[in-house]
Chain A
């Protein structure tokens, strides 16, 4: 409990009068008003400040007036509403969970709504706005329930975000799978997921505004109880406050508010996280803001300022015609990612004892059997992957092909299919090895290239090169991916090192970098190649599409080197992963060894991303499962993890290629669907 006690419970040292708080509120109102006014002067029509003024005073020509009334004002109001709703929801969630990182995004509310809408779309029912927001509400509430349940209220600051972010990844993967499986039914859902406050008329705003009012009113009614919760559950109970009921009420209200925002504008990321965080320093100065009744509306105002500010900023920086294509959600996601990282480096992370795996002592026979079984499985999957696809082949075909005697069709099919199978196998193995190394070095069971943002950075590097030099060769793509991976890992490890490599902070900073990278990838593709959504999906969802033998050569070389180093340095890995002191006592140069292993894992993830896109969770699942199967010694973990990783990605690729053939699903989607429950399971287990 003590860990997560937020600033709100500690009494501020300098307490100023009520007038101070009133002045701050007034300033905020002025700021929001100013932003709102600037916002209505921006847009694609030639309606600037003078025309808006005339329209508002009723002297403009009807065309300009209708632009202001039917387009600008609804957009501004939507921004205002969305910001208010998300800011209030975030503040309330943070108060009842006593967790400074709680928010609609980190509780996977948006992802839950997105999936619910996707499922509704697939079933083919066309729904009116209110009914579809009802479905979104149910989905969002369910997701929030899962995350809160897994992370146990008020128990772990960071655990909540990890559970929420992982669930977001998993749910989004399922939804994206639906998008690909049912392209016609779910058309529009992809763009909706980017989030934009643009409106056509006041209809949407008018339908959603009452929900916002209900939320605000509800919060104000339970405000005193929320304040009591800040004292701790027992103290609150002592005051006669029904703890459980209050929590449930607040979560439901917050889900309601975020659903209203999501229905109106799609997911506008991270506002619910940032707004209350910006209010917190104020609460330290002005005592009035320590009360929920004041802090929730103020957080709402800050939220409105964030959304409108992003919209104004975007339109100020890029021409209006381009700005139309850039979703507001991408901008707030970028801002939010930076914010998440800053918060992560400051948050106190006491949960240091994150799940040391139980020491399994396994016999040599168990290790050998496991390896044999896995090797057999890998061979089986590889054979299946080579033979299956849109056209089924038989082994004799492969033999003929290998001897260069196959007929035309078989040669064609295998020439294109085998590189993909190879890319999947090698990428899986490389990611598993990278995950093993990272987990050993950081002694962090949640660390892996995907969750650390290294894969995201690699993807960004690769996309940067591919958009600027369309004909880049495999080596330069691998180089760019490595550069991106290196840059993001320097950022992540550098920031996490400042706090002495706190267990979960590392992963939190990583999640921030991963979010920022995927927002930047979306932005880059919207700005350079707006009519090519496939390109974005390929890099974001991980795919072996279009790979040829030369593309996998860099990966094969790096993997070979990586395996060699891991085998030669297996004892050092064991020692590094043990604890801080033993290697020192033995006189090992710890820092240099760690750096070497990290560099190797970054190289592995970079080349894997270049070959197969950003595939998440493999680096997490494989080493864990390996340790559970054969114990901790790296001489055993490395081969088992690598075999597991290769089998997993190859299976995912095989499924992705065959289930909706001739169309394709990315391998990354499949691994996310498998990896998310596993990640959540690890979180639950480490709670004990």
Chain B
């Protein structure tokens, strides 16, 4: 037995060593210098990011970055959880087939490295240790994903930073202008429908073994900020977290809203994400809510990423205006 073990171990080691000889790429002694002007950026943490030129091969770990890249006309080379983005971000669809780099929480360093990116754009949702490791792979632009004190400002800053790194500042200006136009347009449409200052609440919700949890988007959230920008009044009194401006509540927490207009985004690709049409339809607390009684509950189209960039927020404005003024 022992002898067999010994032989097996030695044989395995030898075999591994022999078959694993050789290289997968030639030894590179020369570092081919890139042409083009150097770009120096200061990211959300105040760290300097130096690029040899506009980044072409970009990897993104968060979907809002992915969306910004698409809006800027840069096709991302690697994206975390591609399937998830294709489920939740259909409003700003991917135009290429990027490589899946793993989960958003723990993207695979190996896969990122094998893509040989010019730039990796991450957010502060990634563990600091992982960011540190990515810096060895490629220049890393670390963004603050969300900031409850100024979401729209944060959204624009992030777009600008990505645009600067990818040499697409002109396109960024265009995207921002489009968003501003949507805001003006939406505000006017709502005012015309006599909805200026109307009380409004946006949420998403999840069902877990028949228990419903609801996530209020407070005025500190991106959607909350956009709502206020187009003249709606956020009705949530729940306190949101300091990054995303999200709270937690249950069905009875909705009673505090009073007489509001209520909207939500679910997803048909994720059957747990639509409690409002499912479990709650029979719930008597839900049925007793004034906005449910008055049929002021609006399901906005699937696929608008609620933490996205100017383009998805523009689409959000369109859909919310359409729902409320119908």
Contact = CB atoms under 8 A, between A and B. Distances in A.
A569 interface: no
B24 interface: yes
B113 interface: yes
Nearest to B269: A184
Contact of B284 (A66, A369, A391, A394): A66
A340 to B, nearest CB: 27
A662 B107 CA distance: 7
B129 A44 contact: no
B210 A395 contact: no
Interface string A29-41: 0000000000000
A389 to B, nearest CB: 4
B127 A321 contact: no
A400 B21 CA distance: 12
Interface stretch (B147-155, B157-165, B249-257): B249-257
Given A66-B287, A545-B130, A387 B256 contact: no
A366 B2 CA distance: 9
B111 A390 contact: yes
A111 B112 CA distance: 36
Contact of A201 (B10, B255, B271, B284): B284
Interface stretch (B48-56, B95-103, B227-235, B296-304): B95-103
Interface in A166-196: 183-184, 187-188, 191-192, 196
B114 A413 contact: yes
B109 interface: yes
Given A71-B285, A324-B249, A531-B246, A390 B116 contact: no
B23 A400 contact: yes
Interface in A390-446: 390-397, 400, 405-410, 412-413, 415-417, 419
B133 interface: yes
Contact of B2 (A47, A369, A538): A369
Contacts of A561: none
A324 B248 contact: yes
Interface in B106-146: 106-114, 116, 125, 127-130, 132-134, 136-138
Interface stretch (A227-235, A370-378, A511-519, A672-680): A370-378
B255 A412 contact: no
B277 interface: no
Interface string A532-548: 11110010000101111
Given A70-B285, A416-B110, A664-B106, A384 B16 contact: yes
B109 A45 contact: no
A391 B110 contact: yes
A412 B247 CA distance: 39
Contacts of B107: 662
B285 A663 contact: no
Given A380-B13, A407-B28, A663-B103, A44 B113 contact: no
Interface stretch (B169-177, B190-198, B201-209, B313-321): B201-209
A471 interface: yes
Interface stretch (B35-43, B63-71, B181-189, B237-245): B237-245
Contact of B282 (A201, A390, A662): A201
B17 A395 contact: yes
A47 B285 CA distance: 12
Contacts of B247: 321
Given A44-B249, A532-B125, A661-B102, A201 B283 contact: yes
Interface string B267-283: 00011100000011011
Contacts of B209: 188, 192, 263, 266
A44 B284 contact: no
A470 B144 CA distance: 14
Nearest to B135: A548
Contacts of A545: 106, 127, 129-130
Nearest to B213: A324
A394 B21 contact: yes
**Interface size, A (range):** 35 or more
Given A70-B284, A188-B209, A408 B129 contact: no
Interface string A474-495: 0000000000000000000000
Contacts of B130: 545-546
B16 A380 contact: yes
Contacts of B16: 380, 383-384, 387
A397 B249 CA distance: 53
A217 interface: no
A406 B130 CA distance: 22
A396 B22 contact: yes
B100 to A, nearest CB: 6
A373 B133 contact: no
A412 B136 contact: yes
A210 interface: no
B268 to A, nearest CB: 13
Contacts of B208: 188, 191-192
Contacts of A70: 251, 283-285
A63 interface: yes
Contacts of B279: 200
Contact of A45 (B13, B17, B108, B253): B253
A406 B238 CA distance: 54
B80 to A, nearest CB: 9
A319 to B, nearest CB: 8
B25 interface: yes
Contacts of B282: 201
A125 interface: no
Contact of B127 (A376, A379, A389, A546): A546
B46 interface: no
A583 interface: no
Nearest to B12: A380
Interface string A514-532: 0000000000000000111
A551 B129 contact: yes
A199 interface: yes
A200 B103 contact: no
A45 B255 contact: yes
B20 A383 contact: yes
B202 to A, nearest CB: 17
A410 B209 CA distance: 46
A126 B136 CA distance: 45
B25 A324 contact: no
A325 B212 contact: no
Contact of B129 (A373, A384, A548): A548
A380 B255 CA distance: 63
A43 interface: yes
B288 A66 contact: yes
A410 B134 CA distance: 14
Contact of A406 (B28, B116, B288): B28
Interface in A290-344: 320-322, 324-325
A62 B288 contact: yes
Contacts of B211: 196, 198-200
Nearest to B108: A662
Contacts of B284: 66, 69-70, 201
A129 interface: yes
Given A390-B111, A663-B108, A187 B27 contact: no
A422 to B, nearest CB: 13
Chain A to chain B: the 6 pairs with minimum beta-carbon distance, closest first: A534-B105, A412-B113, A44-B253, A662-B102, A396-B23, A546-B130
Interface of B: 2, 5-6, 9-10, 12-13, 16-17, 20-29, 100-103, 105-114, 116, 125, 127-130, 132-134, 136-138, 206-213, 238-239, 241, 243-244, 246-256, 270-272, 279-280, 282-285, 287-290
19 contacts: A45-B252, A45-B255, A46-B256, A47-B252, A70-B285, A370-B2, A374-B9, A389-B110, A390-B110, A396-B21, A406-B25, A412-B116, A412-B138, A416-B113, A416-B136, A417-B109, A657-B110, A661-B111, A664-B102
Given A416-B110, A531-B246, 14 more contacts: A46-B255, A70-B285, A324-B248, A383-B16, A384-B16, A393-B20, A394-B21, A397-B25, A407-B27, A412-B138, A413-B110, A413-B114, A534-B103, A657-B110
